[in-house]
Amino acid sequence: MSLFDLAHPIVLAPFGGLSSIALVAAVSEAGGLGSYGLYGYDGDRILETAARIRAVTDRPFAVNIWLPTGDEVAPGPEHDGYAAALAPFFAEVGAEIPARPERYLPPVQEQLDAIWEVAPAVLSVVFGVPAPDVVAEAHARGIRVVGTATTVAEAVALAEGGVDAVVATGAEAAGHRVSFLDRAEESLVGLFSLLPQVVDAVGVPVIAAGGISDRRGVAAAFALGAAGVQTGTAFLGTTESAANDAHRAAIRATPAEGTVLTRAMSGRLARGARNRAVAEIEQAGSIAPFPAQNWITGRFRAPAAVQGKGELQSLWMGQSAPLARYDTAAEAFAELVAGVPTR
């Protein structure tokens, strides 16, 4: 049986902050699994987003949330100092230094309550193992649950927690390193080492992620035992994504060695291009903990994106960015499907 009964075992990576309705619909309509990242979304916004997706496609789709790890900070008096340290960036985009908010993130339970109402085909999670009651509620509503692992031990923990599939994400992947058993810096395993070990260790389907941008990567992943592949950067550069022109240009111009792992933009380790904002924040050495740093930098990154100032954005991309040469989601999807072995 194919992965989740999909026509093609291709999964769109759920971009936190860069997901788009058009891209989710394009991948799902093509027979894959479109995914939408709900990082930072409150319940009302989740309901609205799901309604917009269903207005353009009746195909299955996934939503993704970040599980709390317990080390998240709440807005406190130190917020003003964290924000002031980034004052030059706010000045550059013509924005005020942001005042302390009531909260940096909505409660995960608020998100889950909305997701239960939405009832997507798949709920994917990062940064941990979903609680037993979450898995049970999802299954009771016909929702499959997917967890994300950066090590074999994490994959085993997820499988024991009752997930329906595990995404094995290699260190090559774009965006945040979603490790949860050890520090992210100590969990950097390349996909081709990680994938076959995870396949051997768990009894659920394994979805390969990290550095897959063309048919060759897809074929290699299946040769190593994957039941499907999850791809982000290959789709991020297409016209359907929410990335702006500066981000798309960076994807095409950044060599594999030009990406870095940094905590500069969010307070958590993530892979993207080393632009001026990353370099200057790292050099200053004043990085707020998560999610404070992510919330604060987001207040200059958003106007920077509108203004096309790529040097002040989070330019997330994986190490196979030079292979992501597709203008449209249809082109990217067709190339990836060409690597799926015939059954």
Which band of pLDDT confidence, cut at 50, 70 and 90, is reported for residue 285?
confident
CA distances in angstroms from 42 to 17, 62, 68, listed in the order given: 13, 17, 15
Distance CA 33, CA 16 (A): 16
User: How high is the mean pLDDT of the chain?
Assistant: 97
Distance CA 237, CA 324 (A): 7
Give me the mean pLDDT over the 105-115 stretch.
98
Please write the tens of the pLDDT for every residue from 62-81. 999 999 999 999 999 999 99
Q: What is the pTM of this model?
A: 0.96
Please write the tens of the pLDDT for every residue from 148-201. 999 999 999 999 999 999 999 999 999 999 999 999 999 999 999 999 999 999
User: What pLDDT, on the 0 to 100 scale, is given for residue 1?
Assistant: 41
Give me the mean pLDDT over the 279-296 stretch.
96
Helix (H, G, I), strand (E, B) or coil at 297: helix
Sign of CA dihedral 183, 186, 64, 294: positive
**Domain 3-337, what fold?**
TIM Barrel (3.20.20)
In 30-131, which residue ranges form alpha helices assigned H by DSSP?
43-56, 79-84, 87-93, 108-118
β-bridge mates for residue 10, sequence order = 229
DSSP element (H, E) containing 176? strand 175-176
Please write the tens of the pLDDT for every residue from 111-162. 999 999 999 999 999 999 999 999 999 999 999 999 999 999 999 999 999 9
CA distances in angstroms from 14 to 17, 39, 74, listed in the order given: 9, 10, 25
Of 189-193, 257-261, 283-287, 333-337, least confident by mean pLDDT is 283-287
